[in-house]
Amino acid sequence: MKNPPLILWSMLFISQFFYAAVLETVVKAPETTPAAIPITESPVVLAIGALSAGTLLLAWFVPKLLWKDASKKLPPTGGDENDLLEGFFTGFVVRLALLESVCLYGFVAGFLQKQPSLILPFLGASAAGFVINFPNRTFIRKTLGKEPK
């Protein structure tokens, strides 16, 4: 069986590291910049961090609502693999898009502050979310509440 969620997951997971590589290659930090990230000195970075935290929360709650609705439409046993994928895919895409945007917030912050290392906490949070949401059959069934008995 082809696994569209795994293909999408892989491509988006890898792209986050491309963002960090591009940022490191294109943006050269000024030599006068202190080694530490001046988060408290920059209201822009604080605002981007707050947006990122809100987006991370949305990445957990919005897909759960979608999966709850999709689960109601499935038979109690969960149906076949195609039925499960159909119910799972929309919420999964929404979650991955929101997790990806967390990394993009770090990408923007790094460009604005001319500090490539600023992407690292955003990348870490996003990558952790991706790893937690690795789309295997067990995860898909568990997410929809259709675990085999």
Q: What local confidence, expressed as pLDDT, does residue 36 receive? A: 56
Contacts 24+ apart (CB under 8 A), 114-120: 114/27, 114/28, 114/29, 114/30, 114/33, 115/27, 115/29, 115/33, 115/37, 116/20, 116/23, 116/24, 116/27, 116/29, 117/29, 117/37, 118/37, 118/45, 119/19, 119/20, 119/23, 120/20
Chain mean position to CA 141: 20
Indicate if the pLDDT at residue 61 is higher than 60.
yes
Q: What local confidence, expressed as pLDDT, does residue 101 receive? A: 96
What's the pTM?
0.85
User: pLDDT tens digit string along 113-149?
Assistant: 888 888 999 999 999 999 999 988 888 888 888 776 5
Indicate if the pLDDT at residue 28 is higher than 90.
no
User: pLDDT tens digit string along 94-105?
Assistant: 999 999 999 999
